[in-house]
Structure 1
């Protein structure tokens, strides 16, 4: 009996040892650790929405640049949401270290948000080119100045900072809650123009081949966008800021920018366009020199 009992104990000990070794191996191979920083980000509004591709990659790049100094991280995609809900979720701080891409607005600071001091698009997003409604195409192509342009209505997404910029410069603006609805409404002549960042239009032209991009002019105004997060997430905010500056310094940020946007900027042919400059008073509240990061459009193709 004692020999049998000893054998049973030996078998149990062997199983325990194998189980322990397996758990140890799995723990060693697993990239997720309890002390990893968890960072949250929203999902695109639709399957055709490619606007978040660059900023998602950029956020990961910033975090990758700080792994050696700050440790690992875990990236979590949250639900699909439009700009209005995106802001609301960021203010609520319901998701761990939730980051939203927003144009600067002093009101965000009063509502509990803080921003990473680095312009995500290097000044390029402030150049806007426009898709035209079928009924307006011929007339828009003949525009010589911004006064004539103000005769045409412009569609924009609800909550977009461009709405305030365009209205303050004297334009008629139609706000549309859904990103995809903007393209359908333009095609039905519900408004005359849909003006988009010059960095976005290549993907949108591909997703909506029924639309026509005007090539006669482009708008230009300061429109830096930043990663915003709740003010309680200062450790994550500072880490992302440090990572972006490291990526900018070593050239990897510019390489990522060109990878995402070179095709779009070249397709828009900025050198052939008249430039109509508009003002944006909102940027006066930015507390660092964001314009030192501005990229010349002509440098993108190099």
Structure 2
């Protein structure tokens, strides 16, 4: 073989290796109006881009969302999905490999609440867990929050879909639906025309240890390491906080100083929060 031919063959294989692209499969939207999906997909893309020098290029493809519990099962089985995001729980931490970086920087358990507009005045007198026991709280059937609320002896009504929870509040089968201050306002805004009776109330905050994470199959630790490295790079460069402050899902929570005068009720959690997670957690503003 001529030297020139060998040279071009080597160049060809080198080029193919350089442009090789990894496809990452993840979930599609849970519903047509899904404010959180764009946030997490965007964050995943940024984390993959930040680590392209170390791991190569990657593209994201989505597979229809069959429901949270089904996604967890399929991810654990190594089918259809490479990565998904969900609130952490001790059970999920066993079934899946958790990327330790918290996606809301620890704010998932900082909960405002969707309530009926005509009831907002009564929440000014809610000061303790005992006061909350007078209310029925809506939550997702498989949300870790439901277990935490029940662990604190609160009355919980579980529903399978977000719109169903909103309807339960409208029909007075539930009194309130707690959602993170980083997503509640945006999630409600998307469906406000269908539920004009509802508002996102943030003068009372229910707070408990709960974090949102990317999860991968137990056999894909390298992917978890890549995503975590990317998120840490985004935090260290300041890109992550800017992303949170500008994204339509999370921007309504900033500046956090607006919550200085909010009444905060602390709940106990059965979940274990790792030191890595705590290291990246936002600080709640000091109360006046």
Instruction: Decide: shared fold, TM above 0.5.
Output: yes
User: Residue 134 of structure 1: CA displacement?
Assistant: 5.9
Distance 1:192 1:267, change over 3 A: farther
- Selected match of 1:263 from 239, 247, 252: 252
- Selected match of 1:199 from 165, 168, 182: 182
Residue in 2 that maps onto 1:39: 24
Residues 1-302 of structure 1 aligned to structure 2 (within 5 Å): 35-95=20-80, 98-111=82-95, 113-133=96-116, 136-209=119-192, 210=196, 211-260=198-247, 261-265=250-254, 269-284=258-273, 286=274, 288-297=275-284
User: Residue 203 of structure 1: CA displacement?
Assistant: 1.1
CA–CA distance in structure 2, aligned partners of residues 272 and 163 of structure 1: 26
Listed as ranges, the gaps of 5+ residues in structure 1 are: 1-23
**What is the aligned residue count?**
266
User: Residue 289 of structure 1: CA displacement?
Assistant: 3.2
User: Residue 164 of structure 1: CA displacement?
Assistant: 0.9
SS in 2 for 1:129: strand
Deviates more, 1:38-47 or 1:148-157: 38-47
Alpha-carbon contact 2:97-2:216 (below 8 Å) kept: yes
CA–CA distance in structure 1, aligned partners of residues 203 and 27 of structure 2: 35
For the aligned residues, what is the CA RMSD? Answer: 2.5
SS in 2 for 1:90: helix
CA–CA distance in structure 2, aligned partners of residues 192 and 135 of structure 1: 11
Distance 1:215 1:202, change over 3 A: closer
CA–CA distance in structure 1, aligned partners of residues 108 and 45 of structure 2: 20
CA–CA distance in structure 1, aligned partners of residues 261 and 29 of structure 2: 32
SS in 2 for 1:212: strand
Instruction: Tell me which stretches of 4 or more aligned residues in structure 1 moved more than 6 Å.
Output: none
Q: What's the CA shift string for 1:244-296, capped at 9, x where partnerless?
A: 11111111112112112222445994223100011112125x3x332121213
Alpha-carbon contact 1:219-1:276 (below 8 Å) kept: yes
Kindly name which structure, 1 or 2, has the bigger radius of gyration based on alpha carbons.
1
Alpha-carbon contact 2:68-2:142 (below 8 Å) kept: yes
TM-score (norm 2): 0.84
Alpha-carbon contact 1:83-1:158 (below 8 Å) kept: no
CA–CA distance in structure 1, aligned partners of residues 256 and 227 of structure 2: 31
CA–CA distance in structure 1, aligned partners of residues 258 and 25 of structure 2: 36
Distance 1:249 1:267, change over 3 A: closer
Listed as ranges, the gaps of 5+ residues in structure 2 are: 1-11
CA–CA distance in structure 2, aligned partners of residues 99 and 117 of structure 1: 13
Q: What's the CA shift string for 1:5-35, capped at 9, x where partnerless?
A: xxxxxxxxxxxxxxxxxxx9xxx9x9x95x3
Residue in 2 that maps onto 1:12: none
User: Residue 94 of structure 1: CA displacement?
Assistant: 1.0
